Structure 1
Amino acid sequence: MESHQSSVILLLLSLCSLLLISPSHSQTCTSQTFTNNALYSKCLDLPHLSSYLHWTYNTTNTSLSIAFIAQPAGTNGWVCWAINPNGTGMVGSQALIAFKSSGAMTVKTYDITAIGPITESKISFEVWDLSAEESGGTITLFAKLKLSGKSDIVNQVWQVGPSVTGGVPDSHAMGADNKASFSNLNLTAGQTSSTGGLDSRTKNRNIHGVLNVVSWGILFPVGAIIARYLRTFESADPAWFYLHAFCQVSAYAIGVAGWATGLKLGGQSQGIIYTHHRNIGIALFCLATVQIFALFLRPKKDHKYRFYWNIYHHGIGYTIIILGIVNLFKGYDILQPEKKWKSAYIIVLIVLGAISLLLEAITWVVVLRRKSSKSTKPHDGYNNGEDRQ
C-alpha cells in the first residue's frame, strides 16, 4: 500500500513539474500580443516590409476580424492593409490606412482607383471597429469587415509610407519590397501564395481547450455520477470505488496537462490576462489537488470522522464540477471556436444531466424499497406472534 501511495505521489509531482517549464518565445507573429487582449485564430509573417497579419474568419457570416502590424517608412508615416476584389495590386483595392492625425491614431478607408494622390472614401466592404495604436515605432491596425463573396481566398495588399501631409497619406517608395507586397490569402488554411505559416499558438489553444473539456468537463462529472449512483447497488461494491478513483485521477492528470498548456499560452501572450478564467483555473487546480490527496485520508466506513470526511469530499467535488463547467464556457468565449464545438459540449452536458436524473430516480426507488423491506420485517414478526397467541 505504501509503495502504491509513493507511486501516485511521484506521478503527481511529475505532472506538477510540467508547470515549471518555461515556454520558448519565437520572434514571429505567434509571439505577438495586443494591449486590447484581442485573440485571433490565425496569423502570418508577411513576406515583405516586415509586416504581420492576424485574423479570425467566420465562415458562417463571412465576417473577418484583422490586426495588421507594420512599421511605417518614416517617423510620421502610415501603414496600409487592403483587399483587392478584382486584381492583385494596389489599384482597385479597398484599403484601410492607419496614421497619426492631430496627435492621435486614426484609421480611414480609401477606394484606390488609380496611381497618385488618394482621397478618403467609402469602400465596397462594410467595416466597423476601426482603430489603431502605435508603440515603439510600430503601428497596429484593427478592423472588422463583412466580405461579400463566398470564396475563402482573397487578394490582400499591404504597404507602408513615409509621411502624412494635411491628413492625406503621401506616396510610398517604389522599392522591390513595396512592389511585391501582395498575395493571395487563404482565410481558412492560413496560407498565402508567397509564404505559408502554421500558427503554433492556435495549436496550443486547441490542445488547451480539448484537455480541459475532457478533464473538468467530462471525466470529473462522470466520476461523480459513478460514485453517487453505482454505490447504491451492493453488487457494484467495490468496483464503483475503483472506477470512481480511476476517473478522478485521470481527470486530474489531464487537467494538470491542460493547465500547463494554459501557462504556456500565457507565456506566449505577455500582457494578455483573462483574470476570471485564470483565477478559476488556479482554484480548480488547488481544489483538485486537495481532492486527490483525499484518497490517502479516507477513513473506514465505521470511523467517527467518516461523516466529516464525506462532507469535505462531496463539497469539494461538486464545487470542482461547477467551477469546471463555468470556466469551460469562459474559455469558449475567449477562444471563440466554431459554434459546433460549443454546441457539442452543451449536448454532452444535457446527456450527462439526463443520465443523472434517471439514475437519481432509480436510486431513490432502490433505497426506499430497501428501507421498506427492513421496516416491515420486525412488524411482520410481531403480527405473526400475536396471531399465534
Structure 2
Amino acid sequence: MSMMRLLNNLPLFLILLGSHLSLHMIHAQTQDSCSSNLNIAGSQLLFDTTNLNCFPVWSSEGFILRYSQASPNLWNFVLSTPTTNSYIGMGFSPSGNMVGSSAVVGWIDSGAAVMKRYFLGGQTPSQVLVDAGNLQIFGNTSSLILDSSSSRLYLAFQLVTDGEPSRRLVFSVGDSSNPPPRSASGFRLTQHRTMAAIRLNYASGQASKIKAPYSNLKRTHGILNMFGWGILLPIGVIVARYFKHLDPLWFYVHTGIQSLGFILGLSGVIAGFVLDNKLEVNVRNHKGLGITILTLGCLQVLALLARPSIDAKTRIYWNWYHYSVGRIAIFFAIVNIFYGIHVADAGSSWNASYGLILGIFVVTTLVLEFMRLKKN
C-alpha cells in the first residue's frame, strides 16, 4: 500500500520538482551586471575602461558587453561571461550569421589564458581559420582575464576600424565535452554548443535580437512539445486520479487527452529531428531527453493495448507499470521543456509562462488532493 500511495502522490512531487528546477534556471544570476562597475580583482585591463557603455547581450548565458569609442577609428570592447570549460567567442558579422563572421575567441587551457582571431568560413571545423578574418586588433592591448573572485571571464580588446564596427554581433559558447583548441591541432575550433546574434546600435545602446534561421519551426517544435508532453499529459494524470467517481467518463476523457498529448508530442519530436538536421547545432542532451520521453510515451501506448481486465490478478502490476512510466515521462518532459527554452535562448517569457502553468497545476492538485482526503 505504501508503494501505491507513493505512486499516487508522484505527480504532485514531479510538478513541484519541475517548478523548483524552473525557478532555479530563471533566477540563476551572475555576479556581474550593467548596474555594477567593472572591477576585476587582481587583474588590470590594458586600456581605459572608465566610460564604457554596457548591455546584457545574452541573458540566458550571462554574456555582458561593454564598449566605447576611444577615437574615430578605435573601439574598446570588454565581453564578460561566466567561466566555462570551453571557449567563448564574439564575432562581427556582415549578415548576422555565424558563417562569414570574423571573431575573437578566448579560453582557459591548463590555467593559461588563450585568445585568438578566427574567420568563420563555414560550418565545419576545417573551414574555421585561425589568425584570419578582417578584424584588426590594436597593438598588445587585447587580453583574456579570469577573475577568480567572480568566476568570470573577461575578453578585452581594442578594434581598429574604418568607421563604425559591424552592428551585427554573434556570440558563442563551446561544447564543454570537447577539449579547448590546442596548438597540436592548429588551434582548430570545434563546433559551438549554442550561439546568439544581435543587432547593436552603438550610439543609442539599443539592441535587438536577430531572427535565427528556421525560427518558426523552432517555435512550432517548442509549442507542440510543451502542449503535448508538458500540459496535456499532466492534465490527463489529474483526471485519472481525481475523477474516477465519474465512471466511465473519466476513462474516455483520460484516454482522449493522453492520446492527443502523445500525437502533439510526437509531432514536436519530429519537428526537432528536422531542426537537428538543418541547423547542425549541438543539442545532444536535449535530443537525448526528447527520445527518452518519446520512448516512454510509446511504452504507454503499448501498455494500453495490453491492459488486462480490471479483475485480473496481473492488473495491480500493470497499474504500477502504467503509473510509474507515465509519471517518469512527465518528469523528463518538464525538465526538457525548461532545458529546451534555455538552449533556444527563447527568453524569460517562455520560462515564466510555463512556470505559471505548472503553478496552476500545483494549486489544482493540492485542492483536489485535500478534497479527496477529506472524503476518505
Q: TM-score, normalised by structure 1?
A: 0.50
Equivalent residue for 2:279, pick from 255, 269, 277: 269
Q: Quote the residue 1:89 is aligned against.
A: none
Instruction: Provide the rounded CA distance (Å) in 2 between the counterparts of 1:77 and 1:38.
Output: 16
Gaps of 5+ in 1: 1-35, 55-66, 81-95, 115-121, 136-140, 154-186, 191-198, 369-389
For the residue of structure 1 that corresponds to 2:309, the secondary structure is coil
Q: 1:68, 1:142 within 8 Å by CA — same for their partners in 2? A: no
Equivalent residue for 1:323, pick from 332, 339, 350: 332
Instruction: Provide the rounded CA distance (Å) in 1 between the counterparts of 2:273 and 2:341.
Output: 17
Against the structure 1 CA distance between its residues 107 and 261, is the aligned structure 2 distance closer, same or farther, given a 3 Å change threshold?
Answer: farther
Equivalent residue for 1:251, pick from 246, 261, 273: 261
Q: 1:39, 1:335 within 8 Å by CA — same for their partners in 2? A: no
Q: Quote the residue 1:357 is aligned against.
A: 366
Q: Quote the residue 1:207 is aligned against.
A: 220
Against the structure 1 CA distance between its residues 134 and 227, is the aligned structure 2 distance closer, same or farther, given a 3 Å change threshold?
Answer: same
Q: Does 1:347 align with 2:360?
A: no
Q: Does 1:241 align with 2:254?
A: no
Q: Quote the residue 1:299 is aligned against.
A: 308
**Which digits, 9 at most, give the CA deviation of each residue in 1:92-140, with x for residues without a partner?**
xxxx5489x9xxxx995324367xxxxxxx9xxxx998999768xxxxx
Instruction: Provide the rounded CA distance (Å) in 2 between the counterparts of 1:98 and 1:268.
Output: 34
Task: Please report how far the alpha carbon of residue 151 of structure 1 lies from its aligned counterpart in structure 2 after TM superposition.
Answer: 6.5
Gaps of 5+ in 2: 1-85, 104-117, 123-128, 141-154, 175-180, 182-186, 190-194
Matches within 5 A, 1:86-165: 96-97=135-136, 108-112=157-161, 150=204, 152=206
Q: Does 1:219 align with 2:229?
A: no
Task: Please report how far the alpha carbon of residue 269 of structure 1 lies from its aligned counterpart in structure 2 after TM superposition.
Answer: 3.2
Against the structure 1 CA distance between its residues 278 and 354, is the aligned structure 2 distance closer, same or farther, given a 3 Å change threshold?
Answer: same
Task: Please report how far the alpha carbon of residue 37 of structure 1 lies from its aligned counterpart in structure 2 after TM superposition.
Answer: 10
Instruction: Provide the rounded CA distance (Å) in 2 between the counterparts of 1:213 and 1:320.
Output: 13
Partner amino acid, structure 1, of 2:330:
I
Equivalent residue for 2:294, pick from 285, 296, 312: 285
For the residue of structure 1 that corresponds to 2:158, the secondary structure is strand
For the residue of structure 1 that corresponds to 2:159, the secondary structure is strand
Instruction: Provide the rounded CA distance (Å) in 1 between the counterparts of 2:260 and 2:171.
Output: 46
Q: 1:259, 1:281 within 8 Å by CA — same for their partners in 2? A: yes
Task: Please report how far the alpha carbon of residue 297 of structure 1 lies from its aligned counterpart in structure 2 after TM superposition.
Answer: 1.5
Q: Quote the residue 2:133 is aligned against.
A: 79
**Which digits, 9 at most, give the CA deviation of each residue in 1:9-29, with x for residues without a partner?**
xxxxxxxxxxxxxxxxxxxxx
Structure showing the higher helix proportion among its residues: 1
For the residue of structure 1 that corresponds to 2:133, the secondary structure is strand
Instruction: Provide the rounded CA distance (Å) in 2 between the counterparts of 1:76 and 1:327.
Output: 35
Equivalenced residue count is 235
Instruction: Provide the rounded CA distance (Å) in 2 between the counterparts of 1:243 and 1:253.
Output: 15
Instruction: Provide the rounded CA distance (Å) in 1 between the counterparts of 2:251 and 2:133.
Output: 63
Instruction: Provide the rounded CA distance (Å) in 2 between the counterparts of 1:189 and 1:148.
Output: 16
Instruction: Provide the rounded CA distance (Å) in 1 between the counterparts of 2:173 and 2:309.
Output: 65
Q: Quote the residue 1:158 is aligned against.
A: none
Task: Please report how far the alpha carbon of residue 273 of structure 1 lies from its aligned counterpart in structure 2 after TM superposition.
Answer: 2.9
Instruction: Provide the rounded CA distance (Å) in 2 between the counterparts of 1:333 and 1:214.
Output: 17
Q: TM-score, normalised by structure 2?
A: 0.52
For the residue of structure 2 that corresponds to 1:302, the secondary structure is coil
Q: 1:45, 1:53 within 8 Å by CA — same for their partners in 2? A: no
Instruction: Provide the rounded CA distance (Å) in 1 between the counterparts of 2:137 and 2:282.
Output: 26
Q: 2:300, 2:326 within 8 Å by CA — same for their partners in 1? A: yes
Q: Give the RMSD, CA atoms, in angstroms.
A: 4.6
Instruction: Provide the rounded CA distance (Å) in 2 between the counterparts of 1:209 and 1:113.
Output: 42
Instruction: Provide the rounded CA distance (Å) in 1 between the counterparts of 2:313 and 2:249.
Output: 24
For the residue of structure 1 that corresponds to 2:307, the secondary structure is coil
Task: Please report how far the alpha carbon of residue 256 of structure 1 lies from its aligned counterpart in structure 2 after TM superposition.
Answer: 0.7
Task: Please report how far the alpha carbon of residue 52 of structure 1 lies from its aligned counterpart in structure 2 after TM superposition.
Answer: 5.8
Task: Please report how far the alpha carbon of residue 275 of structure 1 lies from its aligned counterpart in structure 2 after TM superposition.
Answer: 2.7
Against the structure 1 CA distance between its residues 238 and 321, is the aligned structure 2 distance closer, same or farther, given a 3 Å change threshold?
Answer: same
Q: 2:224, 2:264 within 8 Å by CA — same for their partners in 1? A: yes
For the residue of structure 2 that corresponds to 1:252, the secondary structure is helix
Instruction: Provide the rounded CA distance (Å) in 2 between the counterparts of 1:130 and 1:239.
Output: 51
Task: Please report how far the alpha carbon of residue 145 of structure 1 lies from its aligned counterpart in structure 2 after TM superposition.
Answer: 10
Against the structure 1 CA distance between its residues 293 and 37, is the aligned structure 2 distance closer, same or farther, given a 3 Å change threshold?
Answer: farther
Q: 2:236, 2:255 within 8 Å by CA — same for their partners in 1? A: yes
Q: Which has the larger radius of gyration?
A: 1
Instruction: Provide the rounded CA distance (Å) in 1 between the counterparts of 2:284 and 2:302.
Output: 28
